[in-house]
Chains A and B, each alone.
Chain A
Amino acid sequence: MALDPTYLEYPRRRYGMDHDRYAWSLLKDRPKVEWPGGAKVALFIVPAIEVFPLDQKGQPFKLPGGMVTPYPDLRHFTLRDYGARVGVWRMLGLFDRLKLKATWAVNGRAAERYPYLLRTLAARAGDEIAAHGWDMDSPHYGGQPIEDETALVDRTLRALRDFTGQAVEGWVSPGRSESMATPDLLRAAGVSWFGDWANDDLPYPFHAAGGDLTAMPLSTDVDDRQILVEFRHSEAEFAQQLIDQFTYLAREAEATGGGRAMSLSLHPWVIGQPHRIGALEQALAHIAAQPGVWSATAGEIAAAWRARAGA
């Protein structure tokens, strides 16, 4: 028995990445980025407004947070709805008290399911509406017919742009799912930044047909669902980790003289629970009180980075 000989061939074993989407570069070698006001850490908070269909197909894979039990999975369906009905309002109160901006990653389908909420979010001065794909059962994937994916991107952006009257130039794929073509389709649809590739602590240029997107470093680790639901860490530990994340990045920015970006990915059905929202407020209150924090939307940070880095 042997493997096919091609298994020991490495056609992309070369300098840099094994694809052509972005250049290999060490964070420490990047041009120093200065944020407005000389801030050390640009903080962007990305709550997701998600629609989970009860009749989930889960093809070719289930997205995080999707239905779990045999149909009809009322417990998970209603708990996800809890986020958009109840939890998100707790988050809004917190952001207002601490004067923090949010970048709302919204499923296109939320325009029809949660119009009151989406109107409220779109009307918030300073916040940004970004697209989060069509719904939480519409993954993008390798091998997806290009017409299908193009329709998915266009339908999502049209729904959000029509409803909000805003440009909607940011994109986070549901479950960070992509096909090989996704960045090209996003660029063609007028997207300027996206947050699918969690591989950095600064924005960077991401090549797409027609011009670069700005890749925003939206961590998959600094995320309430990951830490509280997947890792099952306590709320107090979650708060500590957010503070540690900020402390380290601020110190690194100070030491290197170049700004850093800190993301925080949130889900109202997770963090909006009564026993959890306080931990988030405690951590964000601590962070917001530190010198050198710039609370901004992902779009603002992307624009500032493009301007300062000359990209």
Chain B
Amino acid sequence: MKPDPGLYDYWPYHDRPKVVWPGGKKLAFWVAPNIEFYELDPPANPSRKAWPRPAPDVTGYAYRDYGNRVGHWRMMELMDRYGIRGSISLSVALIDHHPEIIQACVERDWEFFSHGIYNTRYAYGMDEAQERAIIQDSIDAVRRATGQTIAGWLAPALTHTERTLDLLADMGLKYTCDLFHDDQPTPVKTATGRFCSVPYSLEMNDSIVFNVQNITPRRYVEILKENFDRLYAEGETSGTVMCIPLHAYLIGLPYRLEPFEEALAYITGHKDVWVTTGREIAEYWSANYYDAALADIAAKAGAR
């Protein structure tokens, strides 16, 4: 074990090279629905139990299943109304289980990236060959179903090994959603390849908001607006990124979706917002700002 993952250098959010998003926009806004499949009776991982109760853990399973049966369509149609294309954090096995959902997202030109095979199969304890196998499985499955080559990764149930990001970069992926250290894209140090972090968010993630922070649906809307207002204002200095990670089994509940719409209306109602996807942010930023970021990081590391 290491005291630091060694993925990035300290890079102060101060006097950075100015980022301007396409069209002169100040804030890149993306919504990342996690479309997940949890297994009723998954094999055991030595480091983490899939469910608190012995299988079948009906409460946890049914709770997630609601998102696919009921919540997804509501969330998707709401996003349609505000012209938001989702960037899907996908349990890729869901391609086999629920192709109707995949097809609807393909028709909307949503982005697909991988969130592992199932959200009940963890990376903990995998050797390199096994971890490469789930990455390749993800690449192949999404390509077959959608024609897209995945660029992004959010680890299944946020489970990693020390080599995860090296392997993603080596296998051609372009960005990770697993790092929460910044409000702008940043370079990620990997063994091979040019790889970056696109700000996802735990603070704005409906799962953390509702089930960890125990925040009410209406307060969630206020938090989203406050988060947006600050990032939008700071985007004048240098372009920022705001992500709303969602789970249809959470936000797709009627009593949460009823107030949530206001947040999307508010954010997309501002003129200097680039409503986009994770891949587009990663590509644009990497093409235009990656080298300047590296130079600035090096310059600031040399300051004493």
Chain A residues packing against B (C-beta within 8 Å): 1-4, 6-8, 10, 12-19, 24-29, 60-61, 141-143, 173, 175-180, 196-201, 219-222, 230-233, 237, 240-242, 244-249, 252
Contact = CB atoms under 8 A, between A and B. Distances in A.
B127 A178 contact: no
Interface in B126-169: 126-127, 129-130, 133-134
Contacts of A15: 96-97, 99
A178 B58 contact: yes
B3 interface: no
Contact of B73 (A28, A232, A240, A247): A28
Nearest to B37: A18
Q: Which 5 A-B pairs have the closest CB atoms?
A: A248-B254, A142-B54, A2-B127, A244-B258, A199-B65
A244 B37 CA distance: 27
* Interface residues of A, dominant DSSP: loop
Interface of B: 37, 39-41, 43, 45-46, 52-56, 58-59, 61-63, 65-66, 69-70, 72-74, 93, 96-101, 117-118, 121, 125-127, 129-130, 133-134, 210, 214, 216-218, 253-259
Contacts of B52: 61
Contacts of B37: 18
B255 A196 contact: no
Contacts of A27: 69-70, 73
Given A26-B69, A200-B66, A18 B45 contact: no
B254 A252 contact: yes
B43 A6 contact: yes
B246 to A, nearest CB: 16
Contacts of A142: 53-56
A220 B210 CA distance: 14
30 contacts: A2-B127, A2-B129, A3-B45, A3-B125, A4-B43, A7-B45, A13-B93, A13-B97, A15-B99, A17-B97, A24-B69, A27-B69, A60-B53, A142-B53, A180-B56, A197-B61, A198-B59, A199-B63, A199-B65, A199-B69, A199-B70, A200-B69, A201-B70, A221-B255, A233-B214, A241-B216, A242-B255, A244-B255, A245-B258, A248-B254
Contact of A249 (B53, B59, B254): B254
Scoring A16, A240, A247 by chain B CB atoms within 10 A of each residue's CB, the highest score goes to A240
B262 to A, nearest CB: 12
Contacts of A221: 63, 253, 255
A7 B66 CA distance: 26
Contacts of B257: 248
B70 A10 contact: no
Scoring A219, A240, A246, A248 by chain B CB atoms within 10 A of each residue's CB, the highest score goes to A248
Contact of B125 (A1, A28, A178, A244): A1
B65 to A, nearest CB: 4
A175 B218 contact: no
A232 B212 CA distance: 12
A2 to B, nearest CB: 4
Contacts of B98: 24
Scoring B37, B45, B62 by chain A CB atoms within 10 A of each residue's CB, the highest score goes to B62
Contacts of B74: 252
B63 A198 contact: yes
Nearest to A173: B58
A61 B53 contact: yes
B255 A241 contact: yes
Given A199-B62, A233-B216, A244-B217, A10 B117 contact: yes
A200 B254 contact: no
Nearest to B67: A199
Contacts of A179: 56
A4 to B, nearest CB: 8
B59 A18 contact: no
Contacts of A244: 217, 254-256, 258-259
A200 B65 CA distance: 8
Nearest to A260: B254
Given A13-B97, A24-B97, 20 more contacts: A2-B126, A3-B126, A7-B43, A8-B134, A13-B117, A14-B96, A16-B97, A18-B40, A26-B72, A60-B53, A142-B55, A176-B58, A177-B53, A199-B65, A199-B66, A199-B69, A200-B66, A220-B63, A244-B254, A245-B253
B97 A176 contact: no
Nearest to B120: A18
A248 B258 CA distance: 6
Contact of B58 (A16, A18, A177, A232): A177
Nearest to B100: A26
Nearest to A240: B218
B260 to A, nearest CB: 10
Nearest to B47: A3
Contacts of A8: 121, 130, 133-134
Nearest to B40: A19
B214 A10 contact: no
